[in-house]
Amino acid sequence: MIEEGKPAPDFELESDTGGTVKLSDLRGKPVVLYFYPKDDTPGCTRQACGIRDSWAEFERAGAEVFGISADTQASHERFRAKYSLPFTLLADPEHKLAEPYGVGQEGKNSYERSTFVIGADGNVARIMRRVNPDRHADDVLAAL
């Protein structure tokens, strides 16, 4: 199970643009991985738009931000465009990260709303479980 202070499990996933993102390629800067249940649902939209609205602060912190759900690349592309999201969404329809990050929801094809702040050294700096979508951006910025 993932723990604060330990290396974050590496992965490679497809992005909303069709490219791939590999976590280990991002060493040297803080990374925010936020898992959410489903594109374009009320809570997930508020959560994503909260990050969008605080984007300048995330940039000042030098953080790379990635939203991850079990939705497809095409769904992510539509969601990102609809709300003008300035960060990348990663598709994990096969739930590859459910076990290593402990975010799977039993019996559901979605993820638990959880966030992991990963330091520039690749170690997990903060784990946030069952986050409040309305306070999420502020809570993550405080952790950075």
Residues with active-site annotation = 44
> Is 42 exposed, middle or buried, given 0-12, 13-18 or 19+ CB atoms closer than 10 A?
exposed
Instruction: Report angle CA 6, 24, 62 to the nearest 5 degrees.
Output: 85
> Look-up: residue for tokens 């094809």?
109
Contact 136, 47 (CB under 8 A): yes
Tokens of 72: 């497809």
